[in-house]
Amino acid sequence: MFNMFSEKLINHIYSRQMKKLSYSSSGVSINKGNEFVSKISNLIKKDKGLIKAEIGGFSGQFPLSSKIKKPILVGATDGVGTKIQIAEEMNDHKTIGIDLVAMCVNDLIVDKATPLFFLDYISTGKLDVSKGIDIIKGIIKGCKISHCALLGGETAEHPGYDTKEKYDLAGFCVGVKSGISKKILQLKKNDLIIGIESSGIHSNGFSLIRKIIKDNNISLKKKIIKNSTLGKILLKPTHIYVDVILDLFSKNLIKTCSHITGGGVTENLPRSISKNTKAVIDLNKWKLPAIFKWISSFNVSQNEMLRTFNCGYGMVIIIDEKNVSRVTKIIKKYKYKSDIIGNIEIKKSAKEKSIEFIGRLDFNE
């Protein structure tokens, strides 16, 4: 009886050891990944407006034009933060890819670089092909607006590590400019600071927004501004400023500029001005969009608003005051609104802050 029991136990252990394992049984589907790559390739091939690149190889190749004198490559990488969580809750992933491209190319153009190509990285617990296609369609649209190629990317399944239905995104973009140029030109007193409108929140500050939503039990379907739901307003894609900024640079009309992302104008603008100068921002001239007034109504201070959100201006440029009419005309040509929000002053001492706010934002509805 003991021998019979032992034999059954051994057979049970042996059968368990011999059970066939596969990558799919661990949660990763190679077939689904191949299906996804195939569909992406077809999307790219069919899109006549997208600069073509072969998808599916080990790497991507991009020819550098011989017409560019002393070419300098410029790189930028970024993500879209917890805006993804809003996309998940709204079950709308059609524009998050535009945000991803925008966050990268808008950084490149600050350094006068023309975007050349873009790569994406998608990480998920379990690949949802339909959701993935919506994300890629957004990336393709962003690349078309930016006139850059979608050179490739990576989609990774991380079962047991990433939450099954959720995903994260990262993007990487390379641009080119002619010769190394000083990042910060010497500014002078009374140079004008112009804010170019944002499309809304863009892709920063969503952790604070999500806390407001959670703490106050607010539905994303709630209509808060001109009959638009909160979710729809929050998912509005980030403006891509490639055409307008590069046009202004090509005409030598911008001295320096700043992409207003995390840290708001408080943290970003000082990065773009010379050490002996300061930016004086007149908040009385600042046109604050309704969504930011809504956020501030939950006891968010003016200082916190200005160092967390773009508060209505996604790109800030500094120009010679004599060029203001030419600059505003070009901005209008690209269908953007803009406002003079301040000017440059010379610091009286090295201890002075690089940015000074006067007046107050109008938080009234």
Looking at the structure, give the CATH architecture of the domain made up of residues 192-358.
Answer: Alpha-Beta Complex (3.90)
Q: pLDDT value at position 99?
A: 98
What's the pTM? 0.88
CATH of domain 26-58+69-178: 3.30.1330.10
Q: pLDDT value at position 31?
A: 67
In the sheet with 256-259, reading across from the earlier edge strand, the strands are 256-259, 313-319, 192-197, 338-346, 277-282, 355-358
Give span(s): CATH 3.30.1330.10, the chain: 26-58+69-178
Looking at the DSSP bridge assignments, the partners of residue 356 are 280
Looking at the DSSP bridge assignments, the partners of residue 175 are 74, 115
Q: pLDDT value at position 350?
A: 85
Is the CB of residue 221 less than 8 Å from the CB of residue 214? no
Per-residue pLDDT of the chain (365 residues; tens, 9 = 90+): 445 555 655 555 555 555 565 555 555 555 666 666 677 677 767 776 677 566 666 777 888 888 888 999 999 999 999 999 999 999 999 999 999 999 999 999 999 999 999 999 999 988 889 999 999 999 999 999 999 999 988 988 888 776 777 899 999 999 999 887 665 678 999 999 999 999 999 999 999 999 999 999 999 999 998 889 999 999 999 999 999 999 999 999 999 999 999 999 999 999 999 889 999 999 999 999 999 999 999 999 999 999 999 999 999 999 999 999 999 999 999 999 999 999 999 999 988 999 999 999 998 86
Give span(s): CATH 3.90.650.10, the chain: 192-358
